Amino acid sequence: MGFFDKLFRRKKVMQEKKIFLEREDSQLSQIATTEKQRGMVIVNHLSVDDAVAERLLERVIAFDVETTGLSAKSNRIIEIGAVLFENGEESKRYSTLVDAGVNVPPTVTAINHITNEMLLKAPREKFVYPEFLAFLGDALEGKTMLCAHNARFDMDFLSETLMRLGYDATISCVDTLALSRKMLKLRSNKLNTVAQYFGIENEQAHHAVADAEVCGKILQELLKLKKEQQKQYMQYLEESSLDEEEMETCAYIQKIIADHEGDLEFLGFSKNKKGYIDVIFISSVFKIKFMKKRKYILAEKRFFQNSDLEIEPCSKTEGTEAYVRVFFQNPFQLENVAESIWHIYKEHYDKEMYSLAMGYLTREDAVCIIKSLHTLSVYDVAKLLQRASEREEERLWKEKETERIAAEQQKEREKKAEEKKKAKEEKKAKEEKKAEEKKNVSAGRKSLGRPVLQMTDDLVIVARYESIAEAIRETGINSKSIRDAAKGVQKHAGGYVWKYEDEQQL
């Protein structure tokens, strides 16, 4: 190192020492003059529900600061960047370095590349913050929301600075770091990592306004993703919706658990594509199946050894031999297996709580799971069970009414059958009587036939017949010949003279 290099280096060190001392004196003087006029700033850190998401899509200010350290109490903001987004697009921005009257440590300069020399040319706090607050506008009243990546850090510095300078404000903000952790499940959720995930470039990392812009763009992408997830979730809820009878059964199961003072925090219900209803505490406890005429619980057989309800083996697609179907007709019949249901739930609950305690599962994960399920409040349970009771009473009344109507119909059928039988017998009697009368008439007619005489040519009677029919039977002579001979058409029939007896007597 040459003489002039040593000289310039010594001069630079002396300048930095002078700047540091000047900033220390200025900081002490500033703190002394502003402590007595400290303001009040309230910061509301909001979770992004549907209502908040709609407001953020309309208007939001993305915000970022560079500071001299990590403590909002002892360090200062040395750069502010803010970008206003309206309807998802950048509307305007604010960016400035801030001379806060303090020294910038070399370790900070190495990160954000802000030097003490740069801050000598920057405006002082008393000039910066009136301009910045004008940019924020109604955000100071909590109307327009702010967003930041790791918002608690940025908002701690902003609120502390405003209070130190004597300003009052109520600010609402959201954290894109927390939101990305919740929605993306990346290994790292640093600003630039999340930006890369969405294909957003940040050419000036650790430059406040550039980071604010990237933060705002990340928020827009997260909101779009949330909207799509909400759409998919609503579709899922529609497809997995439970009808009233299914909800009544779920309500009775929840009542059984509540009666045993069980924990209901992460209890919910879900219906899968195959129509099985899952009773869930973080994960599936057991399943319920509603068929057209029958309902059953699908669970391990060991819990139902002494059940009063009908039990049969499950199908091969439902599980192993260790699982059975436990049939029930209405929710109230589950009281017969209440202890079994409670023991299944308690054993499952203990396993899941162990997973939470060991860190295999986080409470945040459990909260996410419960948000995707159908859950029931105490009021819901009471209302559903009241409806189930009314439904059961209605079913019993209909059953009795059906039995009454069936009995009446059976009685009516028996009456009609008896009447039909009687009518048939009467008809048969009439037909028999008519046949008898016809027979009698026929017999009468036969008895009224004209006797005929068989004679020789000398009119000597050979034989007498009651009728021509009898003569035919006895003699075998043609009936026409006998009649013609009797009428005098011809003289003989079979070699004999024939005369009707009544005519012969004349």
Catalytic residue positions, numbered: 206
Q: HSE on the CB side for 267, CA within 13 Å?
A: 21
**Distance between CA atoms of 210 and 204, rounded to whole angstroms?**
6
Specify whether the backbone of 153 is left (phi greater than 0), alpha (psi in -120 to 50) or beta: alpha
Residue 162 contacts residue 169 (beta carbons within 8 Å): yes
**Distance between CA atoms of 288 and 314, rounded to whole angstroms?**
12
**Mode of pairing for the β-strands spanning 169-175 and 41-45:** parallel
Query: How is residue 252 written in tokens?
Result: 């009775």
Rg over alpha carbons for the chain, rounded to the nearest Å, is 54
Specify whether the backbone of 495 is left (phi greater than 0), alpha (psi in -120 to 50) or beta: left
> Which distant-in-sequence residues (6+ apart) come within 8 Å of 141 by Cβ?
169, 170
Residue with tokens 């740069």: 118
User: Residue 293, exposed/middle/buried by CB under 10 A (0-12, 13-18, 19+)?
Assistant: exposed
**Distance between CA atoms of 136 and 129, rounded to whole angstroms?**
10
For the chain, how many residues are written? Answer: 506
Residue with tokens 């959201």: 174
Residue with tokens 């600003």: 191
Residue 101 contacts residue 27 (beta carbons within 8 Å): yes
**Distance between CA atoms of 289 and 294, rounded to whole angstroms?**
9
**Distance between CA atoms of 299 and 360, rounded to whole angstroms?**
25
CA-CA-CA-CA torsion sign (351, 353, 356, 358): negative
**Distance between CA atoms of 195 and 442, rounded to whole angstroms?**
118
Q: HSE on the CB side for 208, CA within 13 Å?
A: 19
Distances (CA, A) of 60 to 47, 114, 201, 258, 345: 15, 27, 20, 44, 45
110 φ, ψ (degrees, to nearest 5): -65, -25
Of 208, 210, 220, nearest in space to 96 by CA: 208
Query: How is residue 426 written in tokens?
Result: 């009467």
Neighbours of 344 (CB within 10 A): 20
